[in-house]
Amino acid sequence: MADLHDLTALDQGAAIARGELTSAELVEHYLTRIAAFGDRVGAFVTVTADQARAEAATLDAAPPDARGPLHGVPTAIKDLTMTAGVRTTFGSAAFADFVPPVDADVVTYLRAAGTVSLGKTTTSELGASCYAETSVAPPARNPWGLGNTAGGSSGGAAAAVAAGLVSVAQGSDGGGSVRIPAAICGLVGYKPSRGVVSGGPLGFAGFGLPTHGALARTVTDAAAFLDAMAVPTIGEPYLAPPAPGGGYLGAARTAAPGRLRIGRFTTPMLVDTPVDPACVAAVDAAATALAGAGHEVDDVAAPLTPAMWPLFETIWHVLSLAPVAPERESSLLPLTGYLRARGATVSAGQLMAVLGELQTRVREGLARLAAYDLLLCPPLATPQAAVGWFTSAAEPAEDFDRQRRFSPYCAVFNVTGQPSVTVPVGATDDDLPVGVLLSGRYGDDARLLAVAAQLERLAGRVDRHPAIWTDAPSATVNGV
């Protein structure tokens, strides 16, 4: 008999709607698994068990006509995302005791959609790195191979979904922070077009690079989660593109995008570095599958080149300058301190010049590929990295350089604002997941989701799980 965590998020919502399952039962099932396996995979910083139980009871009493497709479904919120009344550390000892007075808009919208947060998932310090190894929680580990990182900055979210601790989770992505962990952990990681999801109520969305996204086992679960998050919000600095008729879930369910032109490349865009054969093989497999489905797939030059790295690097340094009390600066990790020190040297004039130059490069690159509906490339140059590999660098500058060599693709699509998604397609020789990255035209999220769902069906990896998936929690969990 299948376990409750075998059900997708949409399956869980449908079972609740039919009266075959309650939100309370799901919450207890997942809390038991979190107690048993959460620290093993480094998924959670804070678990909100009592609050989740209370919310589930309220949702189970709601009338049927007030229930959407994710009503009663457990989820989790990234520890970089403010949640009122819940400790939110931003992955840092500098904020170890911080409890926000307000919710991020996305938290409000997910709650309104009927999802139940089980807690806050592990993130990198201030979201500054592509791995999640901090001083406030165990490192986020890939459930497929616990010696490897789950990635970052949404590493805990990916670990939670891949280990069967929630069916879908919220993440945020300013340079690949949803798509990198998803690729590592064999998940779908969806970054929507700029403006689709509110970044409020605080901040101005980091020059348009960051956005909230979804980590899920299926494209349809990610699309349903996007529907819940994509609520038009007054005062947003970026105009949201029109939502598709039938919603993003409707687009994903059709999985019929029509015949498209797809540009394929494997050349890294942020640095000249070798690409692992497994990453190239996954792109080749995806290209073959999509061509077999009737799409035209052409080899193209990458839209941007490593020449843009100094521009992006400058912006990333400035983005690290989140407000930190002077007396807490000493508790920051070496990488964060390094990035902030570099950011502090950037003048306002220099920043404006960099932003202008970057916009020019982006326009030129996209214009060269305007004939293509989608772009297909690897999300990573190497499919996996060991826990501690980045931090073992002799200096923080080397740590940062290792990160761009590991992930030289994803951040470009934060600069362009295009929708971008990882889909699990292949595996390494030792059966660790390998994903591919599909990116669509700005605002064309519906078509991207339809193609991603089509590729997901062709790849046939939805029902593959790591060994921890079928592990039963012990009766003596955590020594109790």
Helix (H) or strand (E) holding 185: helix 179-185
Residue 267 buriedness (CB in 10 A; 0-12 / 13-18 / 19+): middle
Q: Strand pairing partners for 473?
A: none
Q: Which two tokens stand for residue 168?
A: 């879908």
Residue 61: Cβ within 10 Å count: 8
Of 117, 124, 129, 177, the active-site residue reads 177
C-alpha distances in angstroms, 278 versus 57, 88, 392, 433?
Answer: 46, 37, 24, 10
Which residue in 194, 185, 167 sits closest to 11, CA to CA?
A: 167
Read off the DSSP letter of residue 218: S
- Provide φ and ψ at 298, rounded to 5°: -120, 145
Question: If you search the block for the tokens 């403006």, which residue do you land on?
Answer: 195
* Cβ 406 vs Cβ 256: under 8 Å: no
Of 23, 92, 117, 153, the active-site residue reads 153
Question: If you search the block for the tokens 């165990």, which residue do you land on?
Answer: 138
Q: Rounded CA gap, 386 and 131, in Å?
A: 10
177 is catalytic: yes
Of 23, 78, 120, 439, the active-site residue reads 78
Question: If you search the block for the tokens 């990333």, which residue do you land on?
Answer: 316
Q: Rounded CA gap, 52 and 47, in Å?
A: 9
Q: Strand pairing partners for 422?
A: 189, 437
Angle, helices 309-319 vs 348-368, to 10°: value is: 130
78 is catalytic: yes
Residues identified as active-site:
78, 153, 177
